[in-house]
Structure 1
Amino acid sequence: MKKATIKAAACLMAATVAFSSCIGSFGLFNKVLDWNKGISNKFVNEVVFILISPAYAVCGVVDLLVLNTVEFWSGSNPVAKVGHVENVWGSDGRQYAVKTLKDGYEVTKPTGEKVLFTYDVKHRSWSMQAEGQERELFRFNGDGTVEATLPSGEKKNVALSDEGIGSLRLAMGDGLFFAAR
């Protein structure tokens, strides 16, 4: 009886990993790693790393078998960095503050204006809210394509490939092409 229970548990664990295809974000492991990297002295950092190295193994296994699976099936990471603010440089050379929310991101422009990007699990879509208006940006279709909303309000299905993104850029008027001899 005991062998059957162990075999059933082993098969269940293997099936969880094999059939979920949940690579995930390894949030718990990365939280431990980020904390350890936050130690300012590299020698103290190395000592702490050696002392807590079993924690990395435990966190990695918990992420692999539990948290990444939950993230895959539910669409949300149970240990996401909600509330974390990251300062990023825009392509315009200005700095933006990006705050992680439970269901998306809040971007604060250098002018102080805020733009919200939110993910709707039910509709599998990303939306943007700015200046009191909300607009769906795109939604994931079940066939591996996305339905993008153009600035005109028109919907366009595109493949998640270089060609699909290229056709979307053309539709938005963002395509630049050069001819060479």
Structure 2
Amino acid sequence: MKKRYLSVALVVALAGSMMMTSCIGSFSLTNKLLSWNRQVGNKFVNELVFFAFWVIPVYEVSCLADVLVINSIEFWSGTNPVAKGKKVIDGHDGRYLVECDGKGYTITSENDGSIVRLDFDADRQTWSVDAGQGAMPFMTFVDDNHVSMPAADGTMQTVELSQAGVMAYSQSAATGLFASR
């Protein structure tokens, strides 16, 4: 009888905690696990690992940890502890070390040691870039469908978040780049 009450209490507590947060979260732990699985090998190996992780309940545990613990930390603190970390990226012109601290990214070129910092200001909904000469805002979220970005003439231009909007901005930036040369 006591075991049944404990089970019911646990289910009610879990359901209540999920209904009280109102934050979807980024599910960083589960996404990192899935991303790792995609890089294991060819599609057949990936499928076998996926199936094994589903049977062993690795995915279930990671999803539950995201929903109950990590999502709550992200909701209350504004940062995701799993999102932090380092990754080496091989680009077309060299290798880069990307470090995430939960608020932004530090990108270090292994070629020349140059450092670029990308930061997000949640209050102003603005991403800024600092390449050593001070932070400069480069994208501010206006609403769900628009951002404000620098135009070639130095003013800010509203860009629609669609394929057409991004293409129009790209063309105006390229035109401005060629006009300034």
Q: Same fold (TM over 0.5)?
A: yes
Following superposition, the deviation at residue 133 of structure 1 comes to 3.1
Identity %: 23
Number of positions where the alignment pairs a residue of Structure 1 with one of Structure 2: 158
Q: Which residue of 1 aligns with 2:88?
A: 86
8 Å contact from structure 2 (residues 108, 116) kept in 1: yes
Asked if 1:104 is matched to 2:104, the reply is yes
Q: Which AA in structure 1 matches 2:130?
A: Q
Write out per-residue CA displacement over residues 56-112 of structure 1, whole angstroms, 9 at most, x where no aligned residue.
422211213442354367542122233x131221xxx31131322312222223222
Following superposition, the deviation at residue 10 of structure 1 comes to 6.0
RMSD value over aligned CA atoms?
3.7
**Corresponding residue SS for 1:153:** coil
**Corresponding residue SS for 2:174:** coil
With the length of structure 2 as denominator, give the TM-score of the two structures: 0.65
With the length of structure 1 as denominator, give the TM-score of the two structures: 0.65
Task: Label 1:115 to 1:152 Cα distance change in 2 as closer, same or farther (>3 A).
Answer: farther
8 Å contact from structure 2 (residues 29, 62) kept in 1: no
8 Å contact from structure 1 (residues 127, 135) kept in 2: yes
Task: Label 1:81 to 1:20 Cα distance change in 2 as closer, same or farther (>3 A).
Answer: closer
Task: Label 1:101 to 1:10 Cα distance change in 2 as closer, same or farther (>3 A).
Answer: closer
8 Å contact from structure 1 (residues 115, 130) kept in 2: yes
Following superposition, the deviation at residue 137 of structure 1 comes to 0.7
**Corresponding residue SS for 1:77:** coil
Task: Label 1:171 to 1:7 Cα distance change in 2 as closer, same or farther (>3 A).
Answer: same
Following superposition, the deviation at residue 8 of structure 1 comes to 6.1
CA distance in 2, matches of 1:173, 1:112: 28
Structure 1, unaligned runs of 5 or more: 176-181
Asked if 1:12 is matched to 2:16, the reply is yes
Asked if 1:162 is matched to 2:166, the reply is no
Task: Label 1:112 to 1:33 Cα distance change in 2 as closer, same or farther (>3 A).
Answer: closer
**Corresponding residue SS for 2:154:** coil
Alignment of 1:129-140 (within 5 A): 129-140=130-141
CA distance in 2, matches of 1:53, 1:33: 18
Q: Which AA in structure 2 matches 1:166?
A: M
Following superposition, the deviation at residue 155 of structure 1 comes to 0.5
